[in-house]
A and B are shown apart, each in its own frame.
Chain A
Amino acid sequence: MKDNYVPSVKKRQIMELAESGKRIDGRSLMDYRPLDIKPGFIEKAEGSAAVHLGGTYVVAGVKIQPEKPFSDTPDKGVMTVNSEFVSMASPEFEPGPPDIKSIELARVVDRGLRESETIDTKKMCIYKGKLVWTVFIDIFVLDHCGNLIDAAALAALTALFNARMPELEFKDVKQDVTNTLIEDMTPQDGWKEKVHSVTEERTVFPDRKKSPLPLRAIPVNVTMAKIGDKFFVDPSKDEEEVMDCRLSVTFTEDGNICAMQKGEPGTLTPEEVLRAVDIAKIKSQELRNRLPIPEDILKSIEKAKAKKKEKD
């Protein structure tokens, strides 16, 4: 499999073409491949998105379920990112336990979302210490034609934008929790009046149904491959096969960096890192402008920002 060696003929080809600012697929060094984002691809998931970035094809699904919180954050919802390299996506992906690269991918995407505090987990608490909403983000890589990180991050973010809170069904909730919930419900929780009827088998908080996730940031990742002394934005698989190393930088809409990852064994000078960050800043804003963000999400993000400013 290709992973094992550098195709030297191709490497020469890519490096020499880059001297005149060109790439083997006709792009310039700064160009992304065509990007196509389909939100709501999977109706059975609470949120989902299918992303085509050139030939790379990634689907992300969001499941939101009531679970027990972590003991150190009893009043906060939980977010987990999981990714899977499906074997049909590339000849080098073998069936079996998660590939180490797929774990890295999930963690880089996770960091971008977590550190930018995209999800306001405090608003995801159902009952302190007992029950919180858990957001499972599952990323499936279906066709690997390079730059999985950016495609996966875009898919995960779009799936979150697209997600709607499920109904809380008491039958899904453990009995002891249900009882405490019903007994302890006080008006100031803002819950009691909104509960239809606790005696019914299925009890719905109408407020939560179909409402979006409490989101407050739009982190966008940009990955660049370093080949020779040049950076290739959105590397294709051919370029990844010959790259010295890659750098991924996640920017928030405020222009802050919230996650970075250098990959592969090559090296970068500090000056090169600064140059890459400059590129990422510009490209991330370009990508952000192309994201399909629903009106209500945009508003809630602005609101969350205003609130934060007030506090500061």
Chain B
Amino acid sequence: MLRNCEVFSIPTKIEPRQLVVPGTLLAEGKYNVGFNAYREGEMVYSSVVGLADLRNDTVSVIPLRGCYIPYVEDVVIGEVKEVNPTMWALDILSPYEGILFAKEFLSKPLNTLKEDARSYLDIGEMVIAKVLSFDRTRNPSLTTRGDGLGKIQRGTVITVDFTRVPRIIGKKGSMINILKKESNCQIFVGQNGRIWISGKTRDEEAVVADAIRKIEAEAHTSGLTDRIQEYFAKRRA
């Protein structure tokens, strides 16, 4: 109890959701340091441009820009950039390239004498894959074992800034559900900012891609979900 009193008796230096920059003093005292913040003595500072966030007694910053860093269990969309006899190296829009071992893709070892890895998955092709393990000292290893994972056979793939991903999914999936319902397309949003759209025609997919670009670019005014619905209504008319 005493400890809690101490924590909450010292005010934070910022308003919740205030825009902060690297070096902005966020709080003073025994707060826990969350994402994108750092401690120096009693002080907690922001390390990026973003929105200050205080939950319970943890101070963190929601970033507005940044590169994708993999987390275990993340589902990402990768593009094959290198093929080895036993594995594929994937560009996952991160400083660390994804490694997809043959046994994680084919569910069996590849007989390198008889089979060519490229006949299964060629350079330039894309896969939806899950991060199995990652700790920054080694490249993340991926798997395509699981529902909805595997090689992309059709459809459109577009790229958005990965910090916009939560926006495109929306609160409890509200936005993505609108997109799916209005377009009749299958849509999958990778955590790394690649989005796969699969519809009956290329035109259908282009409409969804347009809508997503709209969310990414114009989302700073309120009532976005309404406007996205309007947009689809207009396209149908």
A contacts B directly (C-beta below 8 A): yes
Q: Contact residues of A with B, CB < 8 Å?
A: 4-13, 16-17, 19-20, 22, 24, 26
Contacts of A4 in B (CB 8 A): 81, 123
Q: Are B206 and A10 closer than 8 Å at their CB atoms? A: no
| Shortest beta-carbon distance from B184 to chain A in Å | 18
Which B-chain residue is minimally distant from A22 (CB atoms)? B206
B210 surroundings in chain A (CB, below 8 A) = 26
Q: Shortest CB–CB separation between residue B39 and chain A, in angstroms?
A: 34
Interface check B52, CB cutoff 8 A:
no
Partner of B156, one of A6, A13, A19, A26: A13
Chain B residues near A6 (CB-CB < 8 A): 124
A26 CB contacts on chain B under 8 angstroms: 206, 210
CB distance from B127 to the nearest CB of A (A): 10
Across the interface, which residues of A come within 8 angstroms of B122, CB to CB? 8
Q: How far is the CB of A91 from chain B (nearest CB, A)?
A: 11
Query: How many Å lie between the Cα of A17 and that of B203 in the bound state?
Result: 7
Shortest CB–CB separation between residue A42 and chain B, in angstroms?
29
CB distance from A232 to the nearest CB of B (A): 16
Interface residues of B in 140-175 (CB under 8 A from A): 152, 154, 156-157
Q: Chain B: which residue is nearest A18 at the CB level?
A: B202
Q: Is the CB of A5 within 8 A of B81?
A: yes
Q: In the complex, what residues of B have CB within 8 A of residue A5's CB?
A: 81, 123-124
* Measured CA separation A59–B200 after assembly (Å): 43
B209 interface residue (CB < 8 Å to A): yes
- Contact yes or no, B123 A20, CB < 8 A: no
**Residue in contact with B203 in the complex, picked from A7, A10, A22, CB distance below 8 Å:** A22
A8-B202 in contact given A13-B156, A24-B209 (Cβ < 8 Å): no
Q: Say whether chain B's binding surface is mostly helix, strand, loop, or mixed.
A: mixed
Counting contact residues on chain B (CB < 8 A from A), the size range is 10 to 19
Q: Are B203 and A9 in contact (CB under 8 A)?
A: no
Shortest C-beta distance, A57 to chain B (Å), equals 19
Q: How many angstroms from the CA of A5 to the CA of B81 in the assembled complex?
A: 7
Bound: A210/B205 CA distance, A: 55
Chain B nearest CB from A183 CB (Å) reads 65
CA distance A7 to B209 in the complex (A): 18
A6 to B126, CA, bound (A): 12
Q: List 13 A-B contacts (CB under 8 A).
A: A6-B124, A7-B79, A8-B122, A11-B124, A12-B154, A13-B156, A13-B202, A17-B203, A17-B206, A20-B203, A22-B203, A24-B209, A26-B206
B123 contact set on A, CB distance < 8 A: 4-5
- Interchain CB contact under 8 A, B124 and A9: yes
Q: Complex: how many Å from CA A220 to CA B11?
A: 64
CB-nearest residue of chain B to A23: B206
Per-position binary interface string of chain B over residues 118-131, scored 1 when its CB falls under 8 Å from any chain A CB and 0 otherwise: 00001111100000
Closest chain-A Cβ to B203's Cβ sits at a distance in Å of 6
CB atoms of A8 and B157 under 8 A apart: no
Beta-carbon contact of A8 and B203 below 8 Å: no
Q: Given A4-B81, A24-B209, A26-B210, A9–B202 Cβ distance below 8 Å?
A: no
The contact of A20 among B124, B125, B202, B209, by CB within 8 Å, is B202
- Nearest 8 pairs of A and B residues by beta carbon: A8-B124, A5-B123, A16-B202, A5-B124, A17-B202, A7-B124, A9-B126, A13-B156
Q: Which residues, 66 to 115 on B, are CB-close (under 8 Å) to A?
A: 79, 81
CA distance A26 to B156 in the complex (A): 14
Q: How far is the CA of A12 from the CA of B124 in the complex (A)?
A: 11
B156, A8: Cβ atoms closer than 8 Å: no
For B152, give its contact among A9, A11, A19, A22 (CB under 8 Å).
A9
Mask of B167-210 contacts with A, CB within 8 angstroms, 1/0: 00000000000000000000000000000000000110110011
A53→B142 CA distance, assembly (Å): 39
Tell me which residues across on chain B come within 8 A of A12, comparing CB atoms.
Answer: 154
In Å, the complex CA distance between A19 and B81 comes to 28
Beta-carbon nearest neighbor of A242 in chain B = B124
Q: Which residues does chain A contribute within 8 Å of B154, judged by CB atoms?
A: 12
Give the shortest distance, in Å, between B153 (CB) and chain A (any CB): 9
Chain A residues within 8 Å of B124, by CB:
5-9, 11
With both chains docked as a complex, state the minimum distance between the C-beta of B193 and any C-beta of chain A, in angstroms: 15
**Assembly CA distance A24 to B208 (angstroms):** 12
Known: A4-B81, A24-B206. A10 touches B125 (CB 8 A): no
User: What's the least CB distance linking A88 to chain B, in Å?
Assistant: 16
In the docked arrangement, what's the CA distance between A7 and B81, Å?
Answer: 9
Distance in angstroms from A28 CB to nearest chain B CB is 13
Give the CA-CA distance A110 to B203 in the complex, in Å: 41
Which residues of B have CB within 8 Å of A16?
202
What is the chain A residue whose CB lies nearest that of B158?
Answer: A24
Q: Could you tell me if A9 and B81 are in contact, using CB atoms closer than 8 angstroms?
A: no
Q: Please report the C-alpha to C-alpha distance between residue A6 and residue B125 in the assembled complex, in whole angstroms.
A: 9
Q: In whole angstroms, how far apart are the Cα atoms of A5 and B126 in the complex?
A: 13
Closest to B126 in A: A9
In angstroms, Cα B91 to Cα A4, docked, is 13
